[in-house]
Structure 1
């Protein structure tokens, strides 16, 4: 998904240092993607108090939206650098096209992972048969050693894993779409150790999940509410669309639901350990690098000045390539802010 904000945040990101197993609740902020009828998303990463969880650097949660009211998703060709995008749906269907020739559908319970690397462009459009759209769009920052890798695309359908609750309590069902958890491993490639899984917890569940103690974790609540904490430590209640952050050091997480159960996304990874500069759809390392990426994208999508080319097939095949089979006008980059991109920790 593109970040369609006309004044994107100026972000230089670093991982923080917290006490072992500390739990912090990160509230979302609502962001409109585009014009008056545009989709609205709830964003929990990045924000002022925290910019990354492992290499996860961007978390947007959207829906359930009725397409007849919201207009659905229609994101024309746009660029990415230095990241991977992870698309996960709960309801609906999205058509994905990109400049490496991929034409694929994003469906509930199936992960699409796109590697932007040195540069890619893609489009995302909800299908005509989609009446409700509901899901999450996640970005992963690539480490410096791998951020200029070739662009690529991967798809995986994870198998559900059942976990019983503590002392006979109700349990959960998990689908691991990135990394490994509960004996299930996703085959999609990442460039740092990562975890991404959907968890469906029954009403009144109390479940203990073994996790990697070197990871920091985030629990995004899609439905219901849940108490999140390290086993043996204090839990914190996370409600709808909130992100519960758990600092490294916990070797098991305890999740407890209330009357209605919950659906969660569990994200994790070791602290990233590198500063990144993230603006619009670019992840780089310096202000100057991001400015250069923007200039290259604009050079591809403009002709004879500032007029955007009306057909993506007419766009010059530069760093970001051409989205194969898409005829929507590509999205021009917003203007850079007047000040340097600021450091943010």
Structure 2
């Protein structure tokens, strides 16, 4: 998915070095989203929890949009014209509906519930995303992963994977990246990562062994879920500092609760993120925007989309300034 804001916030981010020992007690911070319309008066609105002022990265996860359940007969659904990406991977995960994906690799695929679609932008790629006529309700998450310096010019790539759900302690767990609860995704990542959908039965509690070197983010889609002494409500993202070796998730609601658990080792590199580009400095962004506007070969071409490409927004009249995660204590 593109960030189609006409005045996207410029973000320069990095993390402080942490030399503390592992802490067995989870420390949870609640991150609330902001609503972002995806263009136009009837546009679908997404809830964006990353990046924000309180936190810009969780591991290498640098962008999280949560949308739906969206009645496409009312909003028109998703129709994002060809747009570029650099220095990142896009991760698409649906709860309901279907999205048609086309990219400049020549990939033509469908994003469906419970199926991972991961696209590596590297030095440059472009793609389009359109909800299909079969879709009545669109509901899911769109996530971005920042690529580390040594891999940010990685070749364009597209991966599709359907995880087999694991059932334990009243929970159904679908691991789409990394490993959890005895399940491991075969999809390679450039930094240590975790991505999993966890559905909890009413009143269920599950204790999961996690990597103490990871920081985690639990995004609640439906229900109310307790992590340590904090209850997270729908659309909230709970940030868990590195240290704990287990996480206990408890469904405090009468119905099923659905969450997405993200994790990864703290991303120590400083990055600049603007619109759909990730670079290391302001000049990287200026160059990427210029090449997209000039239709350079860097991003290739998307075949089969019935319309024009998205133009890049106007750059701010200032050098992008740093924005960092709070220091880890």
1:304 corresponds to:
none
Per-residue displacement from partner, 1:192-218 (whole Å, max 9, x unpaired)?
010000000011111100001100000
Name the structure 2 match of 1:261.
256
Aligned twin of 2:192: 193
> In structure 2, how many angstroms separate the alpha carbons of the residues matched to 1:158 and 1:8?
34
Question: C-alpha separation between the residues in 2 aligned to 1:217 and 1:287?
Answer: 29
> Which residue of structure 1 aligns with residue 312 of structure 2?
333
Aligned to 1:42: 47
Distance 1:71 1:15 in 2: 39
Q: Report deviation, 1:33.
A: 1.0
Secondary structure class of the residue paired with 1:263:
strand
CA distance in structure 2 between the aligned counterparts of 1:41 and 1:327, rounded to whole angstroms: 24
**Partner SS, residue 109 of structure 1:** coil
CA distance in 2, matches of 1:120, 1:156: 20
| Unaligned segments of structure 1, at least 5 residues | 165-170, 230-234, 301-315
Query: Quick check: 1:85 aligned with 2:84?
Result: no
Q: Return the structure number with greater relative CO, CA threshold 8 A, min gap 6.
A: 2
The alpha-carbon distance between structure 1 residues 175 and 215, as it changes in their structure 2 partners (threshold 3 A), is: same
Aligned counterparts of 1:240 and 1:14: Cα–Cα separation in 2: 28
What corresponds to 1:125 in structure 2? 130
Report the alpha carbon displacement of residue 260 of structure 1 after superposing the two structures with TM.
Answer: 2.2
Specify the alignment match of 1:3 in structure 2.
Answer: 3
Contact kept in structure 2, 1:102 and 1:324, CA below 8 Å: no
* Structure 2 counterparts to residues 15-26 of structure 1, below 5 A: 15-16=15-16, 20=23, 21-26=26-31
- Cα 1:16–1:41, aligned 2, differ >3 Å: closer, same or farther? farther
* Distance (whole Å) between structure 1 residues aligned to residue 255 and residue 187 of structure 2: 32
Q: Secondary structure, in 3 states, of the residue corresponding to 2:291? A: helix
State yes or no: 1:242 paired with 2:236.
Answer: yes
Q: Secondary structure at the match of 1:219?
A: strand
Assess, with a 3 A threshold, how the Cα gap between structure 1 residues 16 and 137 changes in structure 2: closer, same or farther.
farther
Deviation at 1:15, TM superposition (A): 2.6
Task: Show the counterpart of 2:327.
Answer: none
Residue pairs, 1:52-201, within 5 angstroms = 52-164=57-169, 171-201=170-200
Asked if 1:217 corresponds to 2:222, the answer is no
Q: Helix, strand or coil for the counterpart of 2:256?
A: strand
Superposition CA RMSD, Å = 1.1
Report the secondary structure of 1:297's partner residue. helix
Contact 2:17–2:268 (CA under 8 A) maintained in structure 1:
no
Q: What's the offset of the Cα at 1:325?
A: 2.5
Q: 1:119 to 1:256 in 2, by over 3 A?
A: same
Task: Give the structure 2 partner of residue 320 of structure 1.
Answer: 299
Residue ranges of structure 2 left out of the alignment (5+ in a row): 325-329
- Report deviation, 1:13: 1.1
User: Partners in 2 of 1:15 and 1:216 — Cα distance?
Assistant: 12
Is 1:281 aligned to residue 260 of structure 2? no
Q: TM-score, normalised by structure 1?
A: 0.90
**TM-superposition CA deviations, 1:103-150 (whole Å, max 9, x none):** 000000000000000100000000011111000000000000000011
SS of 1:176's equivalent? strand
